[in-house]
Homo-oligomer: A and B are copies of this chain.
Amino acid sequence: MLTLCNRKGAIFPLKILVALGGNAILQHKETGTAEEQFANVKTTSKQLVQLLLSGHHIAITHGNGPQVGDILLKNELSKNTLPQMPLDVCGAESQGMIGYLMQQSFDNELKSVGLSTSVVTVLTQTLVDANDPAFKNPTKPIGPFYSAMEASKLRQEKGWTIVNDSGRGYRRVVPSPNPIEIIEGRTIRGLFDSGVIVISVGGGGIPVIREKDGRSLRGVEAVIDKDLGAALLATSLDVEVLLILTDVNKVSLNFGKPRERNLGRLTIEECENYLSEGQFPKGSMGPKVEAAVRFIKSGGKKAIITSLDYALDALEERNGTIITS
């Protein structure tokens, strides 16, 4: 591993898990062409290579929301011609797709700065508990919007839970159970420890439960929060830093309100208090802060929430929100 010096002198090389948000791969306003996604991933890769040049060793995980959404919609639009794939299989497809974009792009950027570190994507399943209460209370909207009539038909035909999504139409909701074990964790750890840059646990991992035999795995129609999946992976890799990259530089209190205030440093106790006050929205900052807390509680040293552009600064504690015990 390289151990360069930065402006401030010698630095300590760190083991870091980088958790990439959706915008590292696809921006909100984009339509989702392969070209757009390759271009975004290239920008992301350029920034992440800076972490390696600073001497750190990284592993990468990422979301898959827009990509799995498009795969589901393609399934839906071709349902009269081809069998529809269940959500776990669609998740696997999205891991293949995103992993490919990222491993090619990252490899190109590494070579352009003279590094020959190997980059690979490991397809990942994440174990959840078949008795997780989330299975009784599906909350995570996925896939296309339906009309009221279609929704009623799908509820009957497929037993799906479909809700009216903020007046924009009807949408399927699936459970978001708690991730408890990364099935391929041992192999991912082995690769990481041997110096390989591993891309894994994409989209939180493909959710699987153990069958009643206590042994066999089976995929389930659910989604795992990618940040909570990242916290589990970070612990399993025994990294020092969980670096969660998102749209904003810092976590804020009263986000989008008059008395908005950026947070530079947080203890896990403060995080828990703010979480219980409902300061952080459920589908966005909430799980990131929750992931930080879980990582620190499991023995991690430091979690950072910031944007891609400030990743290096945040590692040197000059930006971002730093969460410690």
Contact A96 B92 (CB under 8 A): yes
Contact A121 B122 (CB under 8 A): yes
Place the interface of chain A in its size category: 35 or more
Identify which of A180-188, A246-254, A300-308 touches chain B: A180-188
Contact A187 B120 (CB under 8 A): yes
**Which residue of B is nearest A71, CB measured?**
B93
A248→B110 CA distance, assembly (Å): 45
A125→B121 CA distance, assembly (Å): 11
A73→B84 CA distance, assembly (Å): 12
Q: How far is the CB of A206 from chain B (nearest CB, A)?
A: 6
A104→B125 CA distance, assembly (Å): 8
> What residues of chain B lie closer than 8 Å to A33, measured between beta carbons?
83
* Contact status of A206 and B92, CB under 8 A, knowing A34-B85, A82-B32, A191-B187: no
A272→B183 CA distance, assembly (Å): 45
Identify which of A15-23, A212-220, A233-241, A284-292 touches chain B: A212-220
* Contact status of A100 and B107, CB under 8 A, knowing A85-B34, A122-B121: no
Which 6 pairs of residues, A with B, have the shortest CB-CB distance? Answer: A96-B96, A92-B100, A77-B78, A121-B123, A33-B83, A93-B93
